[in-house]
A and B are shown apart, each in its own frame.
Chain A
């Protein structure tokens, strides 16, 4: 299991299918691992791990600041900004921080050098230890629109131990924040639930991982007896099924109380060990099949 630097992203499209359940428990059954919570809007992994935090850093983005004594009201900055983050009122530009993308264009274009940049804090990253797991979390401040700068920092090489497998707990959806989270992953685990919503959104992330040419497999969560539309989807598309997590009250209660199932219960430890083994086998297969990875 000592795969150097192997990065495994866990995603689902739909929210609430069990991304955090899967990534937290897989990280916990590995000998030594890193868990990174990229769902910076609603981070939950740290609630399970309750890590002893030993590193904290605020994350800043650059915001334009207009020196009104230098500004001549030429409007170049306002006309340039494609995000409509600068408006022209009372003959002076006014910055709307909410929609500014920190591209720096206004600073570059101002002929009077009247625009400088100031740092604005949008959230933080923190790192801590929980048993065998290094836990890395990013938290976006409420009211902020984009967590991308935080996700970028979370996935910086210097954040995680060099030698452990890394589990990346992704945000829901298939937009830019998910793409950023899986960009450098070696393998993707898609978590699916047995509803038509689950299948519809599984289909989206299935397209996403293929678009980025990532090897992938599916974990079926909340499995009940009877027809499972997500399983049907996997069989039809010939997608590797890494494991099946049954729907049961015991697991549901542990999970809702933010307990790590594999640390509480032998049956779940064995289940997640078998999923991890299968994932690692697929990762190894992929790395030998494609030496570039």
Chain B
């Protein structure tokens, strides 16, 4: 099974819009939403299947037993995350606590215990035919990378053995959830946007992806909103030897489709026709390009 990951660096360039179109066009049997901070794919990929929810445990959280605490302050002195206050006895700030366990290790009175904490929920839709893995991180939590890894593991463990393609919607940025989503995928499709901000973010996500030695393809969404910047991106691809998989125009119909819970290939619209071409060149790149031409 080949795994295609869709990333962008900048948010709002159209990752989910394009991921949902790809899922429809390929009739993908396996897909996942790795944007665990702000998942949206489920809003357009309406499921007839019963979801199975699982609690996601991130790092444990420290708890101080006030009866045992001797007030020495060693826990606070050694906490690198400013997670312990001493205003009304020693107390843990559960949002700041990263669960390292240093306070438990240094406490001379055995007053600190590490307690498992639910940090989010995994949701898996599956029947004989299809698998869709997604998750939602609890607000303010810091272990999105670990949750992304679990989303992908659920997806892979449930996928049929003969499935050919998995489409994975990624998250914006270049940090831990993105790095976790990049691990082990066969190709990244970067959705760029023709703005100065979009170009800067695109260069940073390309650099990040390159460290994983993954095949990279790039398409431009809303290309006609700034033709000069579109040209800059295409020139950049040429200079860097990146595979360019096409342009998609800005299309008010796309917004309407999404707001109706449809993908852009479910209706007849300019962005829908353009994404078909992007899809076919992306599939060529993913399935046919020889392995040794990897960047």
- Asked whether any CB of chain A lies closer than 8 Å to the CB of B144, the reply is yes
Contact B226 A144 (CB under 8 A): no
Q: How far is the CA of A193 from the CA of B258 in the complex (A)?
A: 13
Residue from B95, B144, B172 with most neighbouring chain A CB atoms (10 Å): B172
- Asked whether any CB of chain B lies closer than 8 Å to the CB of A131, the reply is no
- Asked whether any CB of chain A lies closer than 8 Å to the CB of B194, the reply is yes
Determine how close the nearest CB of chain A comes to the CB of B217; give it in whole angstroms: 19
- Asked whether any CB of chain B lies closer than 8 Å to the CB of A96, the reply is no
Q: Which residues of A contact B140 (CB under 8 A)?
A: 174-176, 178-179, 208, 211
Contact A172 B175 (CB under 8 A): no
Residue from B95, B137, B140, B141 with most neighbouring chain A CB atoms (10 Å): B140
Q: Which residues of A contact B106 (CB under 8 A)?
A: 108
Contact B11 A172 (CB under 8 A): yes
Contact B100 A175 (CB under 8 A): no
Contact A179 B252 (CB under 8 A): no
- Asked whether any CB of chain A lies closer than 8 Å to the CB of B102, the reply is yes
Contact A15 B98 (CB under 8 A): no
Binds A, one of B203-211, B234-242, B268-276: B203-211
Q: Is the interface of A mostly helix, strand, loop or mixed?
A: loop
Q: Which residues of B contact A13 (CB under 8 A)?
A: 38
Q: Which residues of A contact B172 (CB under 8 A)?
A: 15-16, 41-42, 172-173
Determine how close the nearest CB of chain A comes to the CB of B188; give it in whole angstroms: 14
Q: How far is the CA of A103 from the CA of B99 in the complex (A)?
A: 9
B-contact 0/1 string along A17-55, CB 8 Å cutoff: 100100000000000000000010110100100000000
Q: How far is the CA of A83 from the CA of B98 in the complex (A)?
A: 10
Contact A44/B200 with A108-B78, A256-B225 known, Cβ cut-off 8 Å: yes
Determine how close the nearest CB of chain A comes to the CB of B172; give it in whole angstroms: 4
Q: How far is the CA of A195 from the CA of B20 in the complex (A)?
A: 15
Q: Which residues of A contact B176 (CB under 8 A)?
A: 145-146
- Asked whether any CB of chain B lies closer than 8 Å to the CB of A128, the reply is no
- Asked whether any CB of chain B lies closer than 8 Å to the CB of A64, the reply is no
Q: Which residues of A contact B40 (CB under 8 A)?
A: 14, 197, 200-201
- Asked whether any CB of chain B lies closer than 8 Å to the CB of A143, the reply is yes
For window 198-218 of A, CB contacts with B under 8 Å fall at 200-201, 204, 207-208, 211
For window 158-202 of B, CB contacts with A under 8 Å fall at 171-179, 193-198, 200-201
Q: Closest residue to A177 on the B side, CB-wise?
A: B175
Q: Closest residue to B13 on the A side, CB-wise?
A: A16
Q: Closest residue to B259 on the A side, CB-wise?
A: A196
Contact B105 A195 (CB under 8 A): no
- What are 23 inter-chain pairs, A to B, with CB distance below 8 A? A14-B40, A15-B12, A20-B197, A42-B11, A82-B60, A82-B100, A98-B179, A105-B101, A140-B175, A142-B174, A143-B208, A146-B175, A147-B175, A172-B173, A173-B38, A174-B137, A174-B139, A176-B95, A179-B139, A195-B255, A208-B139, A211-B140, A224-B252
